[in-house]
Structure 1
């Protein structure tokens, strides 16, 4: 877990620095700006993402789902991580200086509806299909069990009731059917089911990384499967896309895969590069994810969810993708 966190933290620090410095080592290529300030989070055939191009680094933008490499619409809003669904957006962003961060809840017109401080470096963001539930992951320091190295915290907000779980570490945990308590619990990469109550996430403890099923109302989590990180539930709710550590060791990198929840069958995807991202379902057959191309720059790629085909470049100079739906 320590190795995985340290590797991921380097990427987050680079990302956070790039978001405020607006510095890059390559010119923006392969896209044209169609408009500025006209981004909408309303459901429709568009892909949302965070731009990594020099000209609009950190700004959220959209492209038509049918022409993802074409002209993009760019917003003035900057985020370190972004996600949206059901007309609601979650922007993890800097809070006025270089050291603190906040989550901003956005309506479909990008107006900020709520702000909450974040303690740590933003890393993951997710919104439930209805737009009601929000989840995020941050890196934090100071946990006594790991000597002050980075750990993770995952939080959930119910926008309808205002109920906030700043960490999942207070939930009742069941490992292999038995109640479990430990000081080294870490959670990250939440993904929601359609009932806005249940969710999946990654939990690590004692050197193991588990896919867990959680219940927001009951404040419980239970383990389902080992070596699953950053899960993402399919639109039909039957499969989970995730990254799995090679040979169970994050230091060796990760392989994108899909888990069938009914059969527990795991299908490795055709992307063989190590991908350190929470994959996103672009539709029920396609997975999207970010791949760094150099300091401060990344591209969004896609790959079939059934293990066939080959990865293809989807959106140049982009990361943190989300399909806004039809």
Structure 2
């Protein structure tokens, strides 16, 4: 008997349109012989199941069901394709845990932890994982540009602590640029992170649970046409994404080892894609994405394809792992 799968997409953040694209790709490629797939839009003003004719059917939040022509539809599993809140930060996953509904992501605490950049860095640093020098700030804190530059140097990066897709991020080259960059980051989040610039090859590493084992996918080298891997570079073609990355065997073995270690340190399951920059052949951890882009052109699907894993296999595996 086929399983009913709710593919949740949308969300409450700046990433809503990107999430809708990811969710629709999952819907397109999910094995229709195994699953009955349903698109569920989780938006600030409504939770609805959108049928093949784009008709909307409200979701009953009591048990996450919907009713179509008098017939109640319940779900066996949720495929989480929400980038940002409330999918990537674990909020909606805690709700699914409460009502006993399985989902394709890591447990809600792991999702909340990894969505918080500074908390993630605090954990991995304790295990000796190299990272950039950083400063944490909350909105309202006194700002001393002199002290910031003394600690992290120039250039540096200013980032919202809880945001994705490079929204609100700036690369700062001069002291005069620092305050506007901080103000920009605060528009996305009340907590920010200021990090030193690491000059080296940037790579993206997908680590997933595949057929019951932790699997490191082929590594992608990021070559941005812009000053860094910003929104344009990620989504508007302003970068080269080279899979497999042009690394020495020493670099490749080391980043694979570190990426798997970080996945295990953070007690992850499901999808992840982490960014690293090499400094003297040592990969420095930047951040982890636990609901990475899932379109045909996104990095993690590129990596899976390079490994011989189709989108249908990738998505089916996530569901089978969740159902176990």
Answer yes or no: same fold by TM over 0.5: no
Query: Higher relative contact order at CA 8 Å, sep ≥6: structure 1 or structure 2?
Result: 2
In terms of fraction of residues, the more strand-rich structure is 1
Q: TM-score, normalised by structure 1?
A: 0.32
Structure with bigger gyration radius? 2
Q: TM-score, normalised by structure 2?
A: 0.32
